[in-house]
Amino acid sequence: MSEGRPHIAIVGQGNLGQHLASGLQNAFQITTHGRALDIPNTAEVIIVCVPDDATAQVCAALPQGALIVHTAGAVPMCETPRSGVLYPLYSFTKGATVNWAQVPFLLEAHSNEDLAILLSIAKALSPLTYEVNSAGRNQLHVSAVMVNNFTNHLYTLAFAHAKEHKLPVETLFAIMQQGPDKAIAMGPQAAQTGPASRGDQKTIDAHLKRITDPEVQRLYTLLSESIAKHKA
């Protein structure tokens, strides 16, 4: 990349695009672009932050002389002359502050030269950088959905159950915050507690009787069986 403040064009003005533009603006010259793809020819790197199903099409429509990088976890590198992946393994929310130093970046590029460029961009935000190919990134994306999206859905079901019985959901906040910290500190298998972990079928049966939604009953049963199977 050129000396001074290299020009990076960010395509996509959603949550991730806005956060990246804000985070990189001190180290690079940043311009942001919508779907019009009005990319100036001074852009040395183009970072594509659009929905997964639009990523390949957008990459193909961009100026092919620049390094074209996408940010999708489950999409392979685009088929452009110079391409790469700059994937932050994190859940971005509009208006929420991002502590970039805690965000891991998974990097991939066809050449060592372009990989070095991606490393310099990622290092401007976070010390946590990993070279991971598309196959590995796709596997980590599966794990990320489990630890983030699936657990958040369980929070939704737990809140609904408490509200159904007119109970204060804020009583769950402490244990919600405790769980991830324990899993990171001890390892999730060692941190596992609860009736299924200790083989308490009597409590499990009592819980199932208190759940009115058949779908939640099935999910509770499947998770309890899986916890019992994998208990330390």
What pLDDT digit, counting tens, does each position of 133-175 carry? 999 999 999 999 999 999 999 999 999 999 999 999 999 999 9
Domains for the chain: give ranges and CATH numbers. Answer: 7-132 (3.40.50.720), 137-230 (1.10.1040.20)
- pLDDT by residue (tens digit) across 53-71? 999 999 999 988 899 999 9
The residue that leads in pLDDT, 94 or 98, is 98
Quote the pTM value: 0.88
Q: Is 128 exposed, middle or buried (0-12, 13-18, 19+ CB in 10 A)?
A: middle
Q: Give the list of residues 6+ apart from residue 123 with CB closer than 8 angstroms, or none.
A: 129
Angle at 124 between CA 122 and CA 127, to 5 degrees: 65
Q: Identify the pLDDT of residue 94.
A: 84
Angle at 81 between CA 79 and CA 85, to 5 degrees: 60
The full DSSP string for 49-104 is -S-HHHHHHHHHHS-TTSEEEE--SSSPPPSSSSEEEEEE-S---TT----GGG--
Q: Identify the pLDDT of residue 5.
A: 83
Q: Identify the pLDDT of residue 2.
A: 65
- pLDDT by residue (tens digit) across 108-138? 999 999 999 999 999 999 999 999 999 999 9
Is the pLDDT assigned to residue 188 strictly greater than 90? yes
Paired tokens of 142: 């599966």
Q: What is d(CA 56, CA 39) in angstroms, rounded to the nearest whole number?
A: 17
Total residue count of the chain as it appears in this document: 232
- pLDDT by residue (tens digit) across 9-55? 999 989 999 999 999 999 999 999 987 788 988 999 999 999 999 99
